[in-house]
């Protein structure tokens, strides 16, 4: 079983990640299928596309776009699977819908994607707990490395380019390489900002 142009994946766990364990009991955080933040985006690769060579292999864990597993109401008001649903618990996934893949316990950004972690705002006169449009590069790529931008560097990115993900209990911003517009030199005393709720997701 192999698709020509798409990966075939299956979710790790349920399609919706909308509950937490509290003292051995399940607490449901959300009951709506419309809330994209509660859609599971963790999957395992079942089949790789025949038309492309990528570093991703069968069995690798991946972080994908939330719309792959997201359910919808059709024109008759019936709840249905996404258009990416193949059969049973299998789904098709395009190359540009994969953001991270894991190799031997280490995550790697895929294609032109990268991830930055927000930085704590030390200005006591401001209400925002994190600095805007600035972060520490957590997962880079070869394109950024060629420009001298490496993991651990403090970078600035364009407005509305970032998408929020939870990876290893850390809230990270995903964006494309071209959205990184500046590398800050000699940045000291930068503190990563990770809200407490991210650690329980």
**Is there a domain that residue 96 lies in?**
yes
155 has a pLDDT exceeding 90? yes
Residues 64 and 23 in one domain: yes
Strand 19-22 and strand 90-93: pairing?
unpaired
What average pLDDT does the chain have?
Answer: 85
Return the half-sphere exposure (C-beta side, CA atoms, 13 A cut-off) of residue 164.
Answer: 12
Residues 13 and 105 in one domain: yes
Among 96-105, 153-162, 166-175, 188-197, which stretch is predicted with the lowest mean pLDDT?
188-197
The pair of structure tokens assigned to 79 is 């709840």
**Is there a domain that residue 200 lies in?**
no
Residues 73 and 131 in one domain: no
Last residue of a domain, one of 74, 92, 111: 111
* CB contact set of 117 (below 8 Å; sequence gap of 6+): 135, 136, 138, 170, 171, 172, 173, 192, 193, 194
Among 4-8, 74-78, 137-141, which stretch is predicted with the lowest mean pLDDT?
74-78
Residues 88 and 61 in one domain: yes
Quote the domain boundaries for residue 124: 112-194
- pTM of this structure: 0.81
**Is there a domain that residue 199 lies in?**
no
Average pLDDT (22-36) is 54
Q: What is the DSSP letter of 12?
A: S
Classify residue 11 by burial, with Cβ atoms within 10 Å: 0-12, 13-18, 19+: buried
26 has a pLDDT exceeding 90? no
Q: pLDDT band for position 28 (50/70/90)?
A: very low
197 vs 9, more confident: 9
Last residue of a domain, one of 68, 86, 111: 111
pLDDT at 123: 77
**Is there a domain that residue 201 lies in?**
no
Residues 121 and 25 in one domain: no
The pair of structure tokens assigned to 119 is 């930085």
20 has a pLDDT exceeding 80? no
201 has a pLDDT exceeding 50? no
Q: Of how many residues is the chain composed?
A: 201
pLDDT at 187: 60
- The Cα–Cα gap between 178 and 176 comes to 5
27 has a pLDDT exceeding 60? no
Average pLDDT (47-51) is 95
Residues 14 and 34 in one domain: yes
Residues 19 and 105 in one domain: yes
Among 58-62, 72-76, 85-89, 115-119, which stretch is predicted with the lowest mean pLDDT?
72-76
> pLDDT tens digits for 103-152?
988 999 999 999 999 998 877 777 788 888 999 999 999 999 999 999 99
- The Cα–Cα gap between 7 and 110 comes to 14
User: Which DSSP string corresponds to 121-168?
Assistant: ---TT-S-SEEEEEEEEEE--HHHHHTT--TT-EEEE-TT--EEEEET
Last residue of a domain, one of 80, 111, 142: 111
The pair of structure tokens assigned to 27 is 């607490």
Partnered with residue 180 across adjacent β-strands are 157
The pair of structure tokens assigned to 36 is 């994209």
For residue 120, the domain's CATH number is: 2.30.33.40
Residues 77 and 41 in one domain: yes
Residues 32 and 96 in one domain: yes
């Amino acid at each position: 079983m192999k698709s020509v142009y798409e990966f075939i994946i299956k979710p790790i766990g349920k399609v919706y990640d909308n509950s937490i364990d509290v003292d051995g009991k399940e607490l449901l955080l959300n009951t709506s299928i419309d809330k994209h933040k509660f859609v599971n985006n963790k999957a395992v690769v079942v089949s790789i596309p025949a038309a492309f060579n990528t570093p991703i292999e069968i069995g690798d864990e991946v972080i994908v776009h939330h719309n792959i597993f997201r359910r919808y109401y059709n024109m008759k008001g019936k709840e249905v699977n996404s258009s990416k649903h193949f059969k049973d618990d299998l789904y098709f996934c395009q190359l540009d819908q994969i953001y991270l893949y894991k190799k031997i316990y280490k995550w790697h950004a895929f294609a032109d994607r990268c991830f930055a972690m927000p930085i704590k705002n030390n200005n006591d006169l401001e209400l925002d707990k994190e600095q805007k449009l600035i972060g520490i590069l957590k997962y880079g790529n070869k394109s950024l490395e060629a420009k001298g931008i490496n993991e651990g560097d403090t970078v600035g990115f364009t407005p509305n380019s970032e998408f929020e993900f939870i990876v290893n209990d850390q809230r990270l911003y995903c964006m494309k390489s071209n959205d990184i517009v500046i590398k800050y030199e000699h940045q000291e005393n930068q503190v990563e900002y990770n809200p407490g709720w991210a650690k329980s997701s």
